[in-house]
């Protein structure tokens, strides 16, 4: 993913990445008692770190600063989260990224998420559903509102607990497959 470019305010992303290290220490600590507080209290900068082993791509991006999403970065996130099987993308819901970023902060790690699945086209979802009855027919993945992720440095249980603490969407625990599902749909949990 590109590390250069300019957002609407005229600040280059390269400069934002340089500022991030210093500002990360200054950013407000999240409020854990309620989900809206957690997401609002994420500080003046929101960052997401992800890799995709299937495409070989990696992304470490500040996507929100001073109360606004950075449109160019959100487009890059949508591209990163695309259905790589069908090479299709849609605008990925920023609320799902917020949940992922907030859970990541709660786990206090700099390791990037390993993205198993982001956006899924209807074709891909149907193919996966034919192979696994656990795949929902009307999955939030098909709406660009969900991601399945894992971390080497955190257990599925730790990731599940951090995502649940956000109280901001659906969280599924898949212990045998070693990943956690996070979406920005209604608040609900499931797991095995």
Position 101 scores a pLDDT of 96
Token duo for residue 189: 């949990």
Task: Tell me how far CA of residue 15 lies from CA of 21, 40, 138, in angstroms.
Answer: 11, 24, 40
What tens digit of pLDDT does each residue of 116-148 get?
999 999 999 888 878 887 777 789 999 999 999
| pLDDT value for 43 | 57
pLDDT in tens, 6-25: 333 334 444 333 333 333 32
Position with higher pLDDT, 29 vs 19: 19
Residue 74, pLDDT > 90, answer yes
pTM above 0.85, yes or no: no
- CA dist 20 and 15 (Å) reads 9
Question: Are residues 102 and 30 in contact, defined by beta-carbon separation less than 8 angstroms?
Answer: yes
What's the pLDDT score for residue 126? 87
In 3-state terms, the chain is what percent helix, strand and coil (to 5)?
35, 25, 40
Per-residue pLDDT band at 39 (split at 50, 70, 90): low
| Mean confidence (pLDDT) of the chain | 82
pLDDT at position 11: 41
pLDDT score at 38 = 53
CA dihedral 126, 123, 112, 74 (to 10 degrees): -130
DSSP secondary structure code for residue 156 in this structure: H
| 3-class SS of residue 164 | helix
Q: Packing angle between helix 71-80 and helix 94-106, nearest 10 degrees?
A: 80
Tokens at 43, concatenated: 């500080």
Query: Is the distance from CB of 73 to CB of 164 less than 8 angstroms?
Result: no
Tell me what pLDDT residue 27 has: 33
pLDDT in tens, 81-94: 999 999 999 999 99
- Number of Cβ within a 10 Å radius of residue 59: 21
């Amino acid at each position: 993913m590109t590390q250069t470019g300019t957002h609407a305010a005229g600040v280059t992303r390269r400069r934002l990445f340089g500022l991030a290290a210093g500002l990360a220490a200054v950013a407000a600590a999240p409020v854990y008692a309620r989900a809206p507080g957690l997401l609002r209290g994420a500080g003046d900068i929101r960052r997401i770190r992800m890799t995709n082993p299937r495409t070989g791509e990696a992304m470490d991006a500040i996507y929100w600063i001073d109360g606004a999403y950075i449109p160019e970065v959100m487009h890059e996130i949508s591209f990163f989260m695309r259905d790589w099987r069908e090479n299709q993308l849609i605008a990925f819901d920023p609320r799902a990224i917020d949940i992922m970023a907030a859970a990541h902060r709660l786990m206090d790690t700099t390791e990037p998420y390993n993205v198993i699945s982001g956006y899924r086209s209807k074709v891909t979802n149907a193919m996966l559903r034919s192979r696994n009855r656990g795949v929902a027919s009307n999955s939030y993945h098909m709406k660009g509102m969900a991601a399945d992720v894992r971390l080497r440095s955190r257990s599925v249980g730790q990731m599940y607990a951090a995502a649940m603490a956000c109280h901001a969407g659906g969280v599924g625990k898949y212990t045998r497959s070693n990943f956690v599902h996070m979406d920005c749909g209604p608040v609900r949990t499931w797991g095995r």
